[in-house]
Amino acid sequence: MKIKGIDYQGLKTDNNVFLAPIAGYTDYAFRNLLIKLGIGLTFTELVSAKGIVYKNKGNSGLLYSGNDYDKTAVQIFGSEPYYMRKACESEELLPFSVVDINMGCPVPKIYKNGEGSALLKDVLLAESIVKECVKSGKIITVKIRTGLKQGDDIASEYAKMAEQSGASLITIHGRVREAYYSGEPDFNAIEKAKKSVSIPVIANGGIFTTKDATDMIDKTGADGIMLARGAIANPFLICELLGKEKPCTLKEFMLNHVKLRRKIMSDKRASIEFRKFIPYYFKGIEGVKELKMKLLNAEDTETILELLDKNF
């Protein structure tokens, strides 16, 4: 794929390879490491707009971005225009130039509350949310899916709505809500959406290799791609796409990941939450079954660091 910067409302990214907001994974530690690998733009895990307005203490960890605010957008979710705008105008979001509106999360808890991908049922409500957020003065972007159920194709409708409402960029996950994260992306739906607007369109879904990335761009005409599980399974995919040498080994990457996590959270939480990355990091590597089991049972970060240093 062709690497280029993305221009949107006066800002320009270094390149067109973005990191998706993934609940439970794309916290500051992971984002920071991928920024060092060269990613063009990252997004926080999705954060409740109401939670921001009412100053939910749990949001501080989700929003923390160290010195990476220039490479980090905040993603918020909600279904009430008033609270979405208030969140954009809040002190908590002051360091962020870019606010992304989540209209694609398929998780039942969020969907049943009328948020995330549930907004794809009501384009007028979605329009009102975008317009109110734009009034905050922030650069507003939107992330959607191609629809709710198989056969839906509303990406172009929502892309046009987003542009006309003042959004500066739109990301399209090429699957419907009921598909969650499986199946081939709907390239045609993304292509139609891309042709219907003049703002940048970023394509997301099913990108695990450089070929996947090239196919996504070739088949959709999108301006860039957004990596999700593919970046967790292989953080160095970013380097491959950018044509850069890997600055470290996988072992060094994991060691740095653990060390950075324990700087921003309790040691116990850092060790427990690191476990979910282990199946991704070790996928396809032979002879590590025993090491994986020991890592999954480790109770502190020192044990994890020692296991990785001596056994991998």
Active site residues: 105
Tokens of 61: 């960890």
Q: Please name the amino acid found at residue 259.
A: K
Decide: 104 and 121 in contact? Cβ < 8 Å.
Answer: no
For helices 155-164 and 187-196, what crossing angle results, to 10°? 30
Among residues 114, 186, 116, the alpha carbon closest in space to that of 151 is found at: 186
Decide: 185 and 203 in contact? Cβ < 8 Å.
Answer: yes
Decide: 62 and 96 in contact? Cβ < 8 Å.
Answer: no
Rg (CA), the chain: 19
Decide: 232 and 22 in contact? Cβ < 8 Å.
Answer: yes
Residues near 223 by Cβ (< 8 Å), separated by ≥ 6? 4, 6, 16, 194, 200, 201, 202
Among residues 226, 218, 162, the alpha carbon closest in space to that of 193 is found at: 162
List of E strands, the chain: 7-8, 11-12, 17-19, 42-43, 47-48, 72-77, 98-103, 139-147, 169-176, 201-204, 224-227
Q: Please name the amino acid found at residue 101.
A: I
Note the maximum CA span of the chain.
57
Burial grade of 70 (CB within 10 A; 0-12, 13-18, 19 or more): middle
